[in-house]
Amino acid sequence: MCRLSGQIYFTMCHKGAIIKTNRKGESALTDQTKGAVIGYARVSTQEQNLERQLVAFEKYGVDKTFIDKMSGKDTHRPQLQAMLAYLREGDTLIVNEYSRLARSTQDLLKLVQQLTDMGVKIISIKENFDTSTPQGKLMLTMFAALGEFERELTLQRQSEGIAIAKAQGKYRGRQPIPYDADTFHKECKKWLAGQQTATQTMKKLQMKPNRFYRIAKELGYKKVDEKNWIYEPCKQK
């Protein structure tokens, strides 16, 4: 037990880093952490709130945070890959929970092993166990497997619910997202004039390629070759 900044903290060793926790449960990394303290946060969609994860990082004095707003179904995430390239031996990685790193058990165990081999310390705020020990590795595997099982069970229930709704004639599927035709034409004019690329146009309209090109054809845009499109509005009969 020691005193830090006028408060009494209880000391706990986590993979070589010293975490001091006071009576209120507030934590802080001491100077014994050699390298940088890096945070990684992830939510599955743009609409989900990151605030809870980021606030938790403040207690650990995070130097730099990498954020992905996309599914954790695989490891092909821009900021995850950027973080892996940024981390160095002696750094400490903070995550709110291990599921933020990966959703599948296989991906999570592979990432943890990769980080361990790099000499990076991993601290999960929610799950407090040391993954450098056999017992910790077992706990991590069990947590990951249970989480994956719960997600697969949820997907199975959703599929069963949709099948029942379809059988009863109640399922209408995902409703199309409305768009403004004037805005669509405005951005497409810039695209055809070479002022912006098709990808930039889709990004401004917040559309994926399949939907963008389908709507373009419906509104009179026609592909003339591999690179060029023209606008031929439908003539009124």
Give catalytic residue positions.
44
Rounded to whole angstroms, how far apart are CA atoms 209 and 191?
Answer: 14
Q: What is the C-alpha end-to-end distance of the chain, expressed in Å?
A: 86
> Is the distance from CB of 105 to CB of 145 less than 8 angstroms?
yes
